[in-house]
Chain A
Amino acid sequence: MSAVESFLEGAIRTATPLAFAAIGETVVERCGVINIGLEGAIIAGAFGGFVAAGSGSIWLGFLGSAAAGVLVAAVFAIITIRVRADQIITGTAISLFCLGLTAMLYQQLYGATGAALSIPTMATTEIPVLASIPVVGRALFAQPSITYVLYLIIPLVWWWMYHTHAGLAVRATGEDPRAVIAAGIPARRIQILCVLFGGAMGGIAGGVLVIAQAGSFAEGMSAGRGFIAIAIVVLGRWHPLGVAAAALIFGAASALQYFFQALGWPVPYQLFLALPYVLTLCGLAGIAGRAVAPASLGRWPDQT
């Protein structure tokens, strides 16, 4: 494998969990809700996937991930959409709660040392013909099957959001929920369903980390990916295809660290580890003023 090929492979690998989480959050934010608890859904999904995949079935593992993410999202939905507590503080609290709870459960179930329990990871599946495309073939089409699920979900979400009535209702709810309610459409129910969908995607993102990549669970292994995914939604301007592109660019930029490390420059390794976070800041500053958020994002109209 050439340096360029391994760089591209690294880009796709880094981008996959981020794209899962970000595509879910795109739907959530388009209906007017900002779920900072996404980080919590990811770590819960990682843990749920780890436990469920321990049964031996990889797909059951992903089901466990999605279920854990949905559960976390349901708590967020009840508190913010039913009770109408502040979305940002609730989301932050839920993320902290999930990070603590998964750490506690892991220690409790698998011992305080957590001596690197590992589960079988998902093998890569090559897609015939496509995988033999020069340069990009292996990077794109010799991945774990869950990556191909992502390839399907992105265009599906785009088509659903822009070419169906349900998608229109979601976008309208994010712009002006009062108009949606006046039209007789249950805006709150739409928001709850979107948040649950976002939770499932976040959960699967955590599942990707454990089942398709690390093969084990570690405390705090989500490592801020939920927050990075929220930034990716902004960078992708709240459009599913833009978000997918932003996730890929972010993955590529992060994968540069392997490239630089291979060059053997005398740069401290912490610089590479900090790179994704620095890039997020730079990207957000760069997009300034050109990205327009859904009009009622983060608040319900009768809230001040």
Chain B
Amino acid sequence: MGAELALVTDALVRATPLMIAGLAVALAFRGGVFNIGAEGQLLVGAAAATTVSLAGHAFFGRGVVVIALAAAAVAGGCWAAIAAELRRRFRVLEIISTIMLNFIAIYLVSFLVRGPLQEPTHIYPQTESLPAAARLPILVPGSRLHLGFALGVAAAVLLSWVFRKTAIGFRIRATGASPLAAFTAGRIDVSRTSFLVFLFSGALAGIAGGIEVTGVTFALYENLSPGYGYTAIAVALIAGLNPLGIIASGIFFGALETGASALQREFAVPSSIASVVEAALIIGVLTLTAIRNRRVPGRAS
């Protein structure tokens, strides 16, 4: 296999968690929920998928991947549910609560890989490697590109269809655009809608973590995510919260990050340059969008 192909497939591998977590962020933001917690939801999803894979592969055989990803979705959803319930019942600002939950998830993973889930020799702070039967199939032979990427694209298409064509999608968009109007004119149960949006957003981020474990790392360890959940915010915003656009922006950021890693190896440029470029892009897009909105006539009336 050529080195060029490896560059492309590596970028797509890197894009996969960014894309799926980006969809999680877009779903939440569209529904008026500022879920900054994709990082934590991704981590607990990864932890759940690892646990299920290691415990269940002997019993379920190849089917264990499906169950592992389902467990990742449930775990991510539950992690988001904490913040969703705090918001619904106590009106706790979800930006703060989800960031707190991100830090708690980091320490939870740290506890798991140094405690109950640590590999049998108890030397390394990580779990056992997943057996071959519990791994996602490879899409391009000879590369690392796994089925997770296709699942991500499918999820984007599905979410796009939900937003544009279904009543649920309309309720989500209406709730996000104006909760008061959605409630008074649309008789939408705004509180319930945003609660469910929060849960499903967490589930998607959890799946991103499950796919990362079953497709790339094959084990749980600290620093499993180099900030996928935060980059996902950039991915979603650059795409204008449009699910199909997130396929493109996810691949773009995947390429950017693999490129930055290569730069660091070859030319000793710090790889954190990627996060600087990402954040600068968000700020740029926000500013331009705001300037454009100000030019819309009649807005001030």
Contacts and interface: CB of A to CB of B under 8 A. Distances in A.
Contact of A96 (B278, B287, B289, B290): B278
Nearest to A274: B107
A284 B283 contact: no
Contacts of A268: 111, 114-115
A281 B282 contact: no
A84 B107 contact: no
Contacts of B96: 227, 230-231, 234, 280, 284
A83 B111 CA distance: 45
A89 B107 CA distance: 26
Contact of A277 (B34, B103, B279): B103
A280 B279 contact: no
Contacts of B99: 224, 227
A156 interface: no
Interface in A33-51: 36
Interface in B270-289: 270, 272-276, 278-280, 282-283, 286-287, 289
A103 B275 contact: yes
B103 A223 contact: yes
A203 B114 CA distance: 35
Interface string B83-110: 0001001111101110111111001101
A228 B90 CA distance: 17
A36 B95 contact: yes
Given A89-B286, A281-B86, A289-B90, A83 B276 contact: no
A107 interface: yes
A92 B270 contact: no
Interface in A270-304: 270-271, 273-274, 277-278, 280-281, 284-285, 288-289, 302, 304
Nearest to B293: A84
B89 to A, nearest CB: 7
B275 A89 contact: no
A86 B276 contact: no
Interface stretch (B14-22, B46-54, B201-209, B230-238): B230-238
Given A93-B279, A107-B272, A79 B104 contact: no
B3 interface: no
Contact of A274 (B103, B264, B279, B282): B103
A100 B227 CA distance: 11
Most chain-A CB neighbours within 10 Å: which of B89, B97, B107? B107
Interface in A212-243: 219, 223-224, 227-228, 230-231, 234
A63 interface: no
Contacts of A228: 100
A147 interface: no
B291 interface: yes
B95, B108, B274, most chain A CB atoms within 10 A: B95
A103 B272 contact: yes
A278 B90 CA distance: 15
A268 to B, nearest CB: 5
B100 A227 contact: yes
Nearest to B103: A277
B178 A304 contact: yes
Contact of B287 (A83, A284, A288, A304): A83
A52 B93 CA distance: 36
Nearest to B115: A268
Nearest to B181: A304
A230 B98 CA distance: 13
A288 B90 contact: yes
Contact of A79 (B101, B273, B283): B283
Interface of A: 36, 75, 79, 83-86, 88-90, 92-94, 96-97, 99-101, 103-104, 107-108, 112, 219, 223-224, 227-228, 230-231, 234, 268, 270-271, 273-274, 277-278, 280-281, 284-285, 288-289, 302, 304
Interface of B: 34, 36, 82, 86, 89-93, 95-97, 99-104, 107-108, 110-111, 114-115, 178, 230, 233-234, 237, 264, 268, 270, 272-276, 278-280, 282-283, 286-287, 289-291, 294, 299-300
28 contacts: A75-B283, A79-B286, A83-B290, A84-B290, A85-B290, A90-B286, A93-B279, A93-B283, A100-B275, A100-B279, A101-B276, A104-B273, A107-B272, A227-B96, A227-B99, A227-B100, A228-B100, A270-B107, A270-B114, A271-B111, A277-B101, A281-B86, A284-B93, A285-B89, A288-B91, A289-B90, A289-B91, A304-B178
